[in-house]
């Protein structure tokens, strides 16, 4: 594209709103749509154009980003009544930043390809703070040429953009990311409560082990919050549970077991049963408190 593309953004939640704001700051013309109007009004005040549907966004935009809760939301937004395809022009690039099933991403990529359009799956890692600071890690699956055309826009909120492979590959990478995050959180929960149950100070244990082979993002970032009694998100447990569902369903489709990830997933599922769904994913330590009959603090 010789002139700067006109952009659209659909889904202005905790992640999408700050990502869209970065696009405005970078000087792009941006059409926005969201179920709730509060976020729309905020972005309009920053220079965005308001659209009343995904279809209307598509009537204006060359590149549309979506950031929605789950696979059915993205499918409806792209294929549904008043959805993106209903208003799209040939050459459109849709970039989905949601975490959805790799199979759904492949399906949507095929549907758009039939119309002469591109769908990139581009889930992000880095959380709300990464979105606000414009330092997200973006994992992209789909056509490499479409990614290059969209890269200047993605750079407005990404510190790293990696082309992983064909359609769905970005979502596979996100699955892998969430598998490791879940493993760290579950192991942290178990070891903190093992120490407590053995009457050994968990803070001293963390201080002793976090500099060696046990070093990880979870032990670097979460214990000080847990020891301060803070289990607020961060990244909500029910979103971790949703992502683990995608991981386990993907493994099933691939015809392979994930014995360790399955156990970690069960512990996150217990957070739902125990009413901890709106706490941070590190609050999985609360499940171990229940199982061991002892409090961390």
Active site residues: 174
Q: What is the distance in angstroms between the CA of the first residue and the CA of the last residue of the chain?
A: 58
Q: Residue 185 — φ and ψ, nearest 5°?
A: -65, -45
Q: Which is nearer to a copy of itself, 1 or 208 (CB)?
A: 208
Single out the residue of 8, 206, 12, 217 nearest to residue 126, CA to CA.
217
Sign (positive or negative) of CA dihedral 262, 264, 266, 272: negative
C-alpha atoms less than 13 angstroms from C-alpha of 251 in its C-beta half-sphere? 16
* Structure tokens that stand for 26 in this block: 């970078």
Counting every residue written for the chain, the total comes to 297
Shortest gap between Cβ of 12 and a copy of itself (angstroms)? 23
Q: Which is nearer to a copy of itself, 27 or 257 (CB)?
A: 257
Most distant CA atoms of the chain, gap in Å: 66
d(CA 219, CA 206): 7
Q: Which is nearer to a copy of itself, 53 or 240 (CB)?
A: 240
CA 261 to chain CA centroid, nearest Å:
18
Helix (H) or strand (E) holding 259: helix 259-273
Shortest gap between Cβ of 240 and a copy of itself (angstroms)? 11
Shortest gap between Cβ of 171 and a copy of itself (angstroms)? 9
Q: Which is nearer to a copy of itself, 83 or 286 (CB)?
A: 286
* Structure tokens that stand for 88 in this block: 């799209």
Burial of 9 (0-12, 13-18, 19+ CB in 10 A): buried
Q: Which is nearer to a copy of itself, 35 or 204 (CB)?
A: 204
Shortest gap between Cβ of 286 and a copy of itself (angstroms)? 14
């Amino acid at each position: 594209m010789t002139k700067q593309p006109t952009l659209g953004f659909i889904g202005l939640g905790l992640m999408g709103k700050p990502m869209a704001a970065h696009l405005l700051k970078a000087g792009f013309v941006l059409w926005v749509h969201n179920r709730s109007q509060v976020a729309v009004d905020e972005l309009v005040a920053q220079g965005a154009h308001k659209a009343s549907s995904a279809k209307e966004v598509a009537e204006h935009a060359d590149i549309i980003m979506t950031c929605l809760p789950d696979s059915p939301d993205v499918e409806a937004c792209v294929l549904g009544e008043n959805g993106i395809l209903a208003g799209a022009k040939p050459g459109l690039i849709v970039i989905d930043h949601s975490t959805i099933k790799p199979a759904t991403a492949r399906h949507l990529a095929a549907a758009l390809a039939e119309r002469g359009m591109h769908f990139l799956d581009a889930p992000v890692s880095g959380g709300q703070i990464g979105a606000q600071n414009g330092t997200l890690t973006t994992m992209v699956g789909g056509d490499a040429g479409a990614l290059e055309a969209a890269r200047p826009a993605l750079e407005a909120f990404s510190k790293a953009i990696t082309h992983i492979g064909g359609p769905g590959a970005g979502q596979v990478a996100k699955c892998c990311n969430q598998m490791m995050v879940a493993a760290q959180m579950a192991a942290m929960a178990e070891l903190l409560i093992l120490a407590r149950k053995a009457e050994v100070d968990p803070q001293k244990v963390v201080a002793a082990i976090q500099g060696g082979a046990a070093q990880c993002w979870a032990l670097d970032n979460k214990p000080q919050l847990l020891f301060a009694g803070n289990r607020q998100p961060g990244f909500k447990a029910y979103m971790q549970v949703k992502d683990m569902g995608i991981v386990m369903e993907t493994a099933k489709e691939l015809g392979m077991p994930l014995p360790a990830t399955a156990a970690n997933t069960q512990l996150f599922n217990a957070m739902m049963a125990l009413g901890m769904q709106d706490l941070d994913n590190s609050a999985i330590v609360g499940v171990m408190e229940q199982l061991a009959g002892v409090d961390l603090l």
